[in-house]
Structure 1
Amino acid sequence: MLGMHLLLGEGGIVHFGYAVYTGAGAFVAIHALRAIEPGAAWPVSLVPLFSGLVVAVLAWPLGWLSTRGTPLTGAMMTFGMGELLWAFAPAFPGFFGGEGGVGANRVTGLAPWGVTLGPQVELYGVVAIYAFVATWVVWALARTPWGYTLRAVRDNPRRADFLGCNPHAVRWRAFVGASLLAGVSGGLAALHFERVTTDSLGTPRSAAFLLFAVLGGSRTIAGPVWAAVLMVLAFVVLSAWTPAWLLYVGLLFVATVLYAPGGIDAWVAQCSKVAGLPGAVPWLLACAAGALLCAMGFVAMVEMAYHLQSVALYGPVVQVMGMALDVRDADCWVGAVWVGAVGAGTLALCARRGGAR
Structure 2
Amino acid sequence: MTIASKTPLTAGTKRLISLSTVLPWAFAALFLLILPVVFQTSSALTIMNQMAITIVFALSYNMLLGQGGMLSFGHAVYMGIGGFFAMHVLNMVEYQGLWLPLPLLPIIGGMFGMLFAFIIGSFSTRRAGTVFAMISLGVGELIAACSIIIVVFFGGEEGISGDRTMGPEFFGMDFASQSEVYYLTVVWLMIAAILMYLFSRTPIGRIANAVRDNEERAEFLGYSQRNVRWISFIVSGFFAGVAGSLFAVNFEILTEENLNLATSGSILLITFLGGVGFFIGPIIGAIVFTLLQTVLGLYTEIWSLYLGILFVASVMFFPGGFAGVIAMHRRPLSLGKLHLLTGPYLKVAIPAVTSILSLAAVLEILFHKRHGFAGDGEMSLYGITFDSHGYQALGLAIVIAAISLFLVSRITPEIKAAWDEANHAGDDQ
TM-score between both structures, scaled by the size of structure 1: 0.95
1:4 corresponds in structure 2 to 61
- Counterpart code for 1:288: A
**In structure 2, the residue corresponding to 1:319 is in which secondary structure?**
strand
CA RMSD of aligned residues (A): 1.7
**In structure 1, the residue corresponding to 2:94 is in which secondary structure?**
coil
Does residue 209 of structure 2 align to residue 151 of structure 1?
yes
CA distance in 1, matches of 2:300, 2:118: 41
CA shift at 1:273, angstroms?
Answer: 5.3
Q: Percent identity?
A: 32
1:1-357 to 2 correspondences below 5 Å:
1-37=58-94, 41-271=99-329, 276-312=337-373, 315-357=376-418
- Counterpart code for 1:16: F
**In structure 2, the residue corresponding to 1:318 is in which secondary structure?**
strand
CA shift at 1:271, angstroms?
Answer: 4.7
Go from structure 1 to structure 2 and tell me whether the alpha carbon gap of 1:336 and 1:8 turns closer, same or farther (over 3 Å shift). same
User: Deviation string for 1:234-279 (max 9, x for gaps)?
Assistant: 2212223211112111110100001100011111333565574343
CA shift at 1:103, angstroms?
Answer: 0.8
CA distance in 2, matches of 1:210, 1:259: 18
Number of residue pairs the alignment of both structures matches: 357
**In structure 2, the residue corresponding to 1:255 is in which secondary structure?**
helix
CA distance in 2, matches of 1:313, 1:34: 50
- Counterpart code for 1:277: L
Go from structure 1 to structure 2 and tell me whether the alpha carbon gap of 1:167 and 1:97 turns closer, same or farther (over 3 Å shift). same
Which range moves more in the overlay, 273-282 or 199-208? 273-282
Go from structure 1 to structure 2 and tell me whether the alpha carbon gap of 1:65 and 1:280 turns closer, same or farther (over 3 Å shift). same
Question: Does the aligned pair in 2 maintain the 1:304–1:325 contact within 8 Å?
Answer: no
**In structure 2, the residue corresponding to 1:112 is in which secondary structure?**
coil
CA shift at 1:311, angstroms?
Answer: 2.9
- Counterpart code for 2:273: L
User: Deviation string for 1:201-242 (max 9, x for gaps)?
Assistant: 111111001011100112222112112112211221222321
**In structure 1, the residue corresponding to 2:372 is in which secondary structure?**
helix
Question: Does the aligned pair in 1 maintain the 2:341–2:415 contact within 8 Å?
Answer: no
**In structure 2, the residue corresponding to 1:212 is in which secondary structure?**
helix
**In structure 1, the residue corresponding to 2:338 is in which secondary structure?**
coil
Gaps of at least 5 residues in structure 1 are none
CA shift at 1:129, angstroms?
Answer: 0.7
CA distance in 2, matches of 1:41, 1:88: 30
CA shift at 1:313, angstroms?
Answer: 5.7
Gaps of at least 5 residues in structure 2 are 1-57, 419-429
- Counterpart code for 1:46: L
CA distance in 2, matches of 1:292, 1:227: 20
TM-score between both structures, scaled by the size of structure 2: 0.80
CA distance in 2, matches of 1:139, 1:274: 27
Go from structure 1 to structure 2 and tell me whether the alpha carbon gap of 1:318 and 1:272 turns closer, same or farther (over 3 Å shift). farther
User: Deviation string for 1:325-352 (max 9, x for gaps)?
Assistant: 3213322112211221222122212221
